[in-house]
Chains A and B, each alone.
Chain A
Amino acid sequence: MTIKIECRTIARGVAEGEVLLSGDALSFLGNVDPKTGVVVDPGHAIYGECIKDRILVFPHGKGSTVGSYVIYQLKKNNVSPAAMINIDSEPIVAVGAIISDIPLVDRLDKDPFTIFKNGDRVKVDSTGGFVELMNR
């Protein structure tokens, strides 16, 4: 069965992929290699993971506003996340997602860190305002 969770729309779009959970906030400038989509900061919760095509779940963005353009660069290099889910979005990731056509939602009705596990198949329909956990 699928579980449907309501959320707030930040960047419109629809995408599906496997969940990658990051308990740490993310600074796209510095934490992520824009060429490969690999998290390169050794101190980060998802160090070494590739965010390409994943449903990237993290609390919120942080760091330099240039991070918005790094997200755009990831998209152009075909290594961007399929969609992003935040606890509470902030402008750096919000703007980055919008200019890069990456669906972004926040404030899910249920805590994404409780309900999702790494590797779960999830559909983010931010145009419709919901997230779906597919057949588990």
Chain B
Amino acid sequence: MYLTAEEENVLDGEQGETLRKAMEILVALGDIYGADGLIPVKSAQIAGVSYKTIGDAGLEWISNLEGTVKVPSILNPAGMDMLRWKEMGIEPEFAEKQLEIIAAYEKLGISSKCTCTPYYLEGFSATCGDHLAWSESSAVSYANSVIGARTNREGGPSALSAALVGKTANYGYHLDENRVPSVSVVVDHELSGSDYGALGYIAGKEIGNRVPMFHLASTPTSDELKGLGAAMAASGAVALYHVEGVTPEAKQVHFDKPDENITIQRSQLDEVYETIIGNDDDLECDIVAVGCPHCSPEELNNIADLLEGKKIEKELWVCTSREVAQRYPDVVKRIEESGSKVLCDTCMVVSPATEGHNCMMVNSGKALAYVPGMCKVPAKIGSLETCIKRAGGDN
């Protein structure tokens, strides 16, 4: 891999140990994937935040780093809402470690706003063709597919390295040739809302890590695309997809028709809706969680409308980023008047607070894929309306 004289100096440790290691990580990844060199990135989004995932070893490594990031950088969701962790039932020992992790990242100049939807936040907007170093799989999928920006699915340490150096290795989805679809997916029935999550849940398993081109009968909103991409990145490893006539590259670039064709039937979606993942019994859901990925302002507003004048009976979590919640205090208030909780900085997948529940109802294909394994809680998917009904909000 070609390095400029300045990059070589960094690799030789002339700008300190932290940058030397960061550069060594970028070069190693570049060599492994055959990159020709490093390219500047516009922003970084760093995974490896929840104490539940990185533990003491991760905390120690991050704490030992020095210096400041060179591009706007932000964190993935953490294990708890930084302000309401007690209410979530988080143990004080966990909270203390979690706050230490956040402080260690902040010391490096990284924004402590923990979200999987950085694209809704000030300073993290991206446009078609921008190069990024994002890690969270749904954010990577959204950036590549819905925005048309370019990022690989960075691991925590590699995204952090890219943030510190301000560059990443030029391979994978940064290059035109790897953005070409290799499989078509046809859906000839109408879809809406959580159908896109269920579709992604099914399609991701069949697509694996390839790039699909979707031919859909309906025109999805950007929130629906967010749900589709998040689910495919969880049940499979899809980091980029195109939708004919909808996503930016599908509109701008003429792609040849892929040889392989997958058709997804309505009956396959119905089957996903009818199954509880992680358990064979017909369990009663005792927690309902929406906002995976984190809610957009439009989704929050929609939830507030559906909950208007209702009182819910079960635990209902609405997950979003703190910045979006703070931008719309009235909407948050309308949601919480029903007894639901608007939780920020965290989500139902990465927080230990969901463990011990009987069964979780979600409206997200990604949550459906991860909650049974990562939280040991069986999960069931339903539309947003069904979720609210199940929480007891139909009175």
Contact = CB atoms under 8 A, between A and B. Distances in A.
Interface of A: 8, 10-12, 34, 65-66, 68-70, 72-73, 76, 88-92, 94-95, 98-99
B83 interface: no
Nearest to B53: A66
B259 to A, nearest CB: 28
A94 B29 contact: yes
B37 interface: no
Nearest to A100: B61
A11 B155 contact: no
Interface of B: 21, 24-25, 28-29, 31-32, 48, 53-58, 60-61, 155-158
Contacts of A76: 57, 60
B32 A90 contact: yes
A68 B157 contact: yes
5 contacts: A12-B24, A66-B58, A89-B32, A94-B28, A95-B157
Given A95-B155, A95-B157, A69 B28 contact: no
B28 A11 contact: yes
From B28, B32, B48, residue with most partner A Cβ within 10 Å: B28
A73 B57 contact: yes
Chain A interface mostly: helix
Given A11-B24, A11-B28, A91 B61 contact: no
Contacts of B158: 91, 95
B255 to A, nearest CB: 28
Given A11-B24, A12-B24, A91-B155, A66 B54 contact: yes
B54 A10 contact: no
A31 to B, nearest CB: 16
B61 A72 contact: yes
Contacts of A91: 28-29, 32, 155, 158
Nearest to B152: A91
A34 B157 CA distance: 19
A81 to B, nearest CB: 16
Given A12-B24, A69-B61, A99-B157, 8 more contacts: A8-B31, A11-B28, A66-B53, A73-B55, A76-B60, A91-B32, A91-B155, A98-B21
Contact of B57 (A10, A34, A88): A34
A92 B157 CA distance: 10
A67 to B, nearest CB: 10
Question: Which 9 pairs from chain A and chain B are nearest by CB?
Answer: A73-B57, A69-B57, A94-B28, A65-B155, A69-B58, A95-B157, A72-B57, A10-B28, A98-B24
